[in-house]
Amino acid sequence: MLTAKGLFQEIIDNDESFRLFCSIAASGESQGGWENARIAALVAPGMRALAPKITRHSADEDKHGRIFNALMKKRGLEPVPVPPDTDYTMLLERRGIGLAHEKLRADRPLTEEDVIVYLAHSRVTEQRAADQMDMLVTHFGDHPELGKAIHMIDNDEANHLAYCHEELLGLARQGHGRLIQRTLRESALAEIRVYRDVSLAVMRHMGRILGWSKPKAFALAAGIHGMYVWERAAGWHRMVDLKMPDRRNALGGAGAPAPAL
């Protein structure tokens, strides 16, 4: 029987598949760090109070990238190029989700609408990240090689998600509710499609490395398509709801340093 735990165990037990997994993860986290750093530098003049929190978000993402690189280094592995069909961040940008990199590379201040779009997009993608890390903590939280890193990243992702909820609720009270809800819905529907496509691509690459049989590859692909159908019908709602988090001001302090691996 195929299970998430069994599948991931296969991936981490093989050096080549583990290296690809960590390379994809490190690249995505580092890209998120760059994006947040640029947003913090360009944040709309009337929203400068957000800049320290966005900077903290950037530092956390950079830290996660270093953690995945350290996990590879510990095994004596070097990163590999990320296949374009597994580049989650790039594929989201191509669908017009989030802030275009062209805008972030310019030196013009962002508008309030830009910042709201950034926060709404982050609320959606951080939900995905938090869900994935919760799954890994459940199955591998006590793993001698990965456990410490997984717990650290899981806690950070919970902070990021709480920050997005709190800031968006505050902006909704200021009269931006319609823009927020519209952007959340558009982002969620695009994200679940991109996540499906990236998941299928990652499984294809892992299947090639690990020599999965055609029936196994077919079953995994069917499971990914089934999850997409459920998310498209109803599951996306969990990515757009807003509620005041238990963790208040989650990015208001200094972030924890990367653990010694």
Mean pLDDT of 217-236: 96
pLDDT digits (tens, 9 = 90+) for 184-193: 999 999 999 9
pLDDT digits 0-9 by tens, 110-153? 999 999 999 999 999 999 999 999 999 999 999 999 999 999 99
pLDDT for res 238? 94
Q: How many domains does the chain have?
A: 1
**pLDDT value, residue 1:** 63
200, part of any domain: yes
Residue 251 in domain: no
User: Per the domain annotation, does 25 fall within a domain?
Assistant: yes
- At 32 the pLDDT is 94
Kindly report, residue by residue over 37-84, the tens digit of the pLDDT. Answer: 999 999 999 999 999 999 999 999 999 999 999 999 999 999 999 999
Whether 259 maps to a domain, the answer reads no
242, 169 contact by CB (below 8 A): yes
Residue 220: inside a domain:
yes
In which domain, by residue range, is 149 found?
4-239
- φ, ψ at 106 (rounded to 5°): -80, 170
Q: For residue 248, is it within any domain?
A: no
| pLDDT at residue 256, rounded to an integer | 63
Say what angle helices 51-74 and 15-42 make with each other, to 10 degrees: 160
The CATH number of residue 101's host domain is 1.20.1260.10
